[in-house]
Amino acid sequence: MGTERALILLSMNLKANPPSLEISFAISNLHPRLKFSEETVARFFESIFPLYPNGPKGDLSLVFMERDVHNKLHGEFLNDYRPTDVITFPPDSEEGMAGEICVSVDQAMEESISRQISFVRELSLYLVHGWLHLVGFDDIEKVERQQMRIEEERSLTHVGNLDLWPDFVLAPNPS
C-alpha cells in the first residue's frame, strides 16, 4: 500500500434543465485491486444528477478505500470503528466543496457475495447512497431510511435503464 496511488482529477460542467449543476470530481483510488475508468464514474454521476437538480455544487471528492483505512476514518470522525460501507462528508459552499463520498471497496465485495448481486451494483449503490446524503436524504429514522431505499432503487434503476454502470473490476488477490 504505497503513497503513490493515483489521484485522478476530472472536471466537468454538468447541466440539468433547470437549474444548472456545476460539479468537478476529484477521484482517489486508494484500493490496490480496484480498477475502473474515471469516465464511466463521471457518466454514472452525470446520469443521476438530473434526478436531484438541487444538489450541491463545487468539488465532489470520491475516495475508494480498503476496509482498514475506511474503518479508521469512520472511527476518527464518527467515533465508531466498526466496518461500514460509505462515509459522507457534507458540502461546504464556502470552500466550494460539494462533499466527499468515501466507500469501502472490501465491504462492497463481501456484501455483493452475501447478497448475490454484482460487485458493480453494490459499489454503485454506495456512491448513490453517499450522493443522496449530500442532496439532503437521511437514514437515521425508519421512515427516512425507507425513503432513502426508494431513492437508491430509483437512481440505480435509472442508471440501469441507461446502461451507464461504472466499469469497476477487482483484480485477483496476489498470491
Summarize pLDDT for 94-140 with one digit per residue, the tens: 999 999 999 999 999 999 999 999 999 999 999 999 999 999 999 99
Nearest CA-CA partner of 7 in 30, 36, 31: 30
**Predicted TM-score of the model (pTM):** 0.86
- Is a pLDDT exceeding 60 seen at residue 35? yes
Cell numbers at 55, concatenated: 444538489
In the 8-state DSSP scheme, what is residue 66?
A: -
Written as one letter, the residue type at 75 is G
Nearest CA-CA partner of 63 in 33, 25, 29: 29
Domains in the chain, start-ordered, CATH in brackets?
A: 7-170 (3.40.390.30)
For residue 68, the tally of other CB atoms under 10 A from its CB is 12
